[in-house]
Amino acid sequence: MRYVLTLARHLDPIAAAAGGAAICVLIIHLLSALQTELLSETLSWIILPTILFFEDRGRFDHRNSPNGGGSSLALWTVALCIALASCYRAEVGDIGLIPALTPLFLLAENYLRPGLKSGKSSSRGWYSPSSLAHTVWATCLVAVFAIFAALDFSLVDLAKSIIPALALLVSFTAFIPRSTTSQGLVFQPRWIHVDMQYAVIPLSLRVVVILTVSLGIETFVYGPPELSLSLHILVLATFKALFWYLLIVITQGGHTSWSIGTVISSFGIISSISPFIQPSEFQAASGVIASLFTLIQLTQIVPQGIKGRGWLRLLLLPSLGAYTANVIYLVISGRYASSNFGAAGEHPVESLIHHAKGDFERLLQRQSQNYTQADTEYRRRYGISPPPGFEDWYRFARDQNSPIIDDFDMIHDAIRPFFQLSGSQFLTMMTAARQTPGSNLWICGFSGTTAKTSCNHATSNFDRHFTLLINTIMAKVPRESFLPSVTFLFNQLDEPRVLLESWWLDAGNKTDFRMRDLREQPVKQEVINPRICGPTFNPSSHSYTEVQTYGIPFVTTISREKDLCKNPAHADINGLFVSPVSFSLFEGLVPVLSTGAPSTMADILFPSPAYIEKDFVYNEKHDIPWSKKKKNMYWAGSNTGGMGTANSKWETFHRQRFVALAQDLGAKKHAYKYLRQQKETGMVETWHTRFLNGRLYDVAFTRIFACKPKRTCRAERDFFRTKTWANRDAALNSRLVFDIDGNGISGRFYKLLASRSLPLKQTLLKEWHDERLIPWVHYIPVSQGMEEVPELVTWLTRTETGQKRAEEMAEQGREWYFKAFREVDFAVYFYRLILELARLQDPKREAGVVT
């Protein structure tokens, strides 16, 4: 308290008010939220006259002014501008062009008060600190630096903020005192002049009226504010009112320019950005520098001779302190980075890579080298003879240098239950399912004669490029090859469709089925239950990899990680199972082709048409060498993956959890895990900390729309730091690229796999490629909990060994993509699938018989 009193004795009331206003605006930015903006702004204009009433009613009474503080038109105009800016902040957020208000305001002030301009510039050189506050060109430089270096606003964000920024400019310009030297001006906007010292009450009334109407509209759209935020809103409103009160105190009498309001507003928006979340060291340091520039402007605007003007520079301490703390954390985390495991052995990731390389080599070595071997291997694996046309299929696969000949267990596992139906029953099931109201299925016919596919739907004309995919890949099969004509059902939804419980297989009438619409409701009980996860359930064989992970849950076995029966809790943290956007579930022996499905569902898998769409196809021209890529992890996308509703906990959805982790929004709830090695003993231990290196993550939502009602969408927008737009190839500028499921499989994965970047992939869905894609060789698998991500990203980007392994895996994945994920590899897979489908739907085949 003694230090506070000492400081107070060294401060003139004007300097104290300027410092107080700067502190208020900083607190306002730290407390602000979309849902609290309008109500807090409304209350602030009710509190402001109250403060003035108790402070000195006569000094601010509009009745003591000749014109009551301003004309009615001027008061309504300013009130509308203030309300417009508040509405923008309530719907979008901060106004990115705030720093540009200072030079624009100076232009207006120099025009309206030309005598003031000459007085300010007469004794000041261009190099003096005063020029930062009193010359248009210098304030422009500061504004440009603040907007494009310190603040992380895109050009789209800035364009959107033009109107609210101009509204604030009109407001501050209206407060400029008019001088006699402006009488001869060609344009004299006296109709918009407001003397703020005397206009508080009439202006406040008008602002409150407009904001009350805005609040009514907001309540109609979003619902009433939450009662739990009442204290928060009141505190925020009080600081907003204090900010305006202190500005009025500083500027009364016209001795201090109203540019102090624009400068303090710039200081608030710049200083409130934490250096911990900045994507680069340059931006973090720029924030401190920009804060310093605005404080220099502030000290120069405060009249000379004011006692304690220099003390205002202490306002830099919050920015400087946060930046210093961030640097210290970065140094500490770098020191603890697990770069050396020496006597303690390999880093867990190196061990996993070593084991995975062995698995990959065995996969390649065990493939059949001739047709006899392929025929024998098929019979050994499945206990049945290959389907008709298998030899032609083998010849095609061999001629196309397919690296995979035998490992197509995914196809056989999917079709095996349907042998319980006869060929005619199989065809009948497809027709019945397709004709079910609301089935949303396409029925397609593939002609073996023309190698063309024709599909139709009850209500839709757009098949999401499925026909294009089949026609494109099957055109690669030689015409002399045996190609059967088949009929099949295609699921155009992102979500899987088919559930096959054990009792259904034992039922008397196996052609019975039912369809249920389970959209926007939990489906865990449907897809994970004892009728599915019985003792005979075996979606895939788990080849366990024994690796010491030191308590960090690296994915050691991808099939086990995806196994919902082994990990039922995964369904509680994935939007597909908590609140799916759509979930039209077929229960029974319904043969439906889908692009992806969880382990407990029975869809027949095929390559996604998204993989050949223009936006998802890799283009070498847009990639750069590994050495030039940023040492960080990138992801940008929408909030798909589940429908956020008032009743669903969208915070638990997989994409939301990932973005919250990468943006360090969950640090208050849990500590991040890292590995470190003790130099003295060589022992490796798990290090828990709340620090996440924001420089290593460039992650954001670009669209938030999978939510309802609008109140929920705004809550998500308020929680996350969003980007308005992101280039579709921006990921290729980073060394690590993240891939994660949306409503279904991620269509961008092959583009990332083909690039010179290293994909980190989190998925719960099976895809057609699972048997040929080896984790820790071609990509990095990520667990559903994602607890290992901080250590993974740190090791892969900040340690010499990790960077080397990351580059190796990126190159291995890229090389494998061009060998095993070509369009002709799609054709090899689909060709084999239609041979199996043709055998299943052979009208001559009896139930339970394999021909």
Instruction: Give per-residue pLDDT as tens, 151-207.
Output: 777 888 899 999 999 999 999 999 988 765 555 554 555 557 888 888 899 999 999
CB 676, CB 187: distance < 8 Å: no
Lowest mean pLDDT among 108-122, 406-420, 749-763, 766-780: 108-122
- For residues 587 and 589, what is the distance between their CA atoms, to the nearest angstrom? 7
Task: Give per-residue pLDDT as tens, 676-725.
Answer: 877 777 788 888 888 899 999 999 999 999 999 999 999 999 999 999 88
Q: Is residue 292 part of a domain?
A: yes
Q: What is the pLDDT of residue 1?
A: 37
Cα distances from 474 to residues 348, 466, 479, 690, in angstroms, run: 43, 12, 10, 53
Whether residue 800 is contained in a domain is answered as: yes
Spatial CA neighbour of 604 closest among 386, 409, 415: 415
Amino acid at 706: A
Task: Say if CB 745 and CB 765 are below 8 A apart.
Answer: yes
Q: 159: which 2 tokens?
A: 């364009």
**Strand, coil or helix: 603:** coil
Q: In this structure, are 140 and 25 located in the same domain?
A: yes
**Residue 775: pLDDT above 90?**
yes
In the predicted structure, residue 545 carries a pLDDT above the cut 70: no
pLDDT at 183: 52
Which CATH number belongs to the domain containing residue 797 in this structure? Answer: 3.40.50
Note whether 192 and 288 are same-domain residues.
Answer: yes
Rg from Cα positions in the chain: 33
Instruction: Say if residue 633's pLDDT is above 80.
Output: yes
Give yes or no for residue 572 having a pLDDT over 60: yes
Sign of the CA dihedral 538, 540, 546, 548? negative
Strand-strand pairing, 514-517 and 498-499: unpaired
pLDDT at 65: 58
More confident residue, 511 or 170: 170
Mean pLDDT of 740-751: 97
Please state, in angstroms and rounded to a whole number, the distance separating the CA atoms of residues 290 and 278.
14
pLDDT score, position 538: 58
Sheet of strand 630-638, all strands in order from the earlier edge strand to the far edge: 697-703, 630-638, 734-740, 758-762, 780-781
**How confident is the model at residue 452, as a pLDDT?**
96
Regarding whether 350 and 308 lie in a shared domain, the answer is: no
In tens, the pLDDT along 269-306 reads 999 999 999 988 999 999 999 999 999 999 999 888 78
Which of 381-395, 540-554, 562-576 bottoms out in mean pLDDT, i.e. has the lowest? 540-554
Cα separation, 816 vs 200, whole angstroms: 70
> Strand pairing of 498-499 and 584-587?
parallel
Per the domain annotation, does 264 fall within a domain? yes
Residue 122: pLDDT band (50, 70, 90) is very low
User: What's the domain count of the chain?
Assistant: 2
Q: For residues 51-68, give the mean pLDDT.
A: 63
- Domain hosting 627: range is 346-355+619-822
In a domain, 444, yes or no: no
Question: Which among 48-62, 562-576, 715-729 has the top mean pLDDT?
Answer: 562-576
Q: Is residue 52 part of a domain?
A: yes
Is a pLDDT exceeding 80 seen at residue 737?
yes
Mean pLDDT of 604-632: 96
Peptide bond connecting 709 to the previous residue in cis, omega within 30 degrees of 0: yes
Same domain? 287 vs 351? no
Residue appearing with tokens 């064989």: 541
Beta bridge partners of 194: 70
Residues 148 and 245 placed together within one structural domain of the fold: yes
Q: What percentage of the chain reaches a pLDDT higher than 70?
A: 90
Tens digit of each residue's pLDDT (9 = 90 or more) over 329-338: 888 887 776 5
Flag whether 448 is in a domain: no
* Averaged pLDDT score across all residues of the chain: 90
Note whether 251 and 166 are same-domain residues: yes
Same domain, 215 and 350: no
| pLDDT of 474 higher than 60 | yes
This prediction's pTM: 0.92
pLDDT digit string (tens) for 298-309? 999 988 878 878
pLDDT surpassing 60 at residue 63:
no
Q: How many CB atoms lie within 10 A of CB 227?
A: 7
d(CA 347, CA 340): 8
Q: So what's the pLDDT on residue 3?
A: 46
- 212 shares a domain with 100: yes
CA 835 from chain centre, in angstroms, equals 42
- Residue 439 domain flag: no
Using DSSP's 3-state secondary structure scheme, residue 191 falls into helix
Q: Examine the pLDDT at 761 and tell me if it is beyond 90.
A: yes
Q: Which residue has the higher pLDDT, 827 or 541?
A: 827
My answer on whether 174 and 31 are in the same domain is yes
* pLDDT at residue 406 greater than cutoff 50: yes
What region, left, alpha or beta, does residue 437 occupy, with left being phi > 0 and alpha being psi -120 to 50 degrees? beta
- Do both 277 and 350 map to the same domain? no
- Quick check: helix, strand or coil at residue 346? coil
| 211, 91: one domain | yes
Identify whether residues 306 and 350 lie together within a single domain.
no
Any domain includes 21:
yes
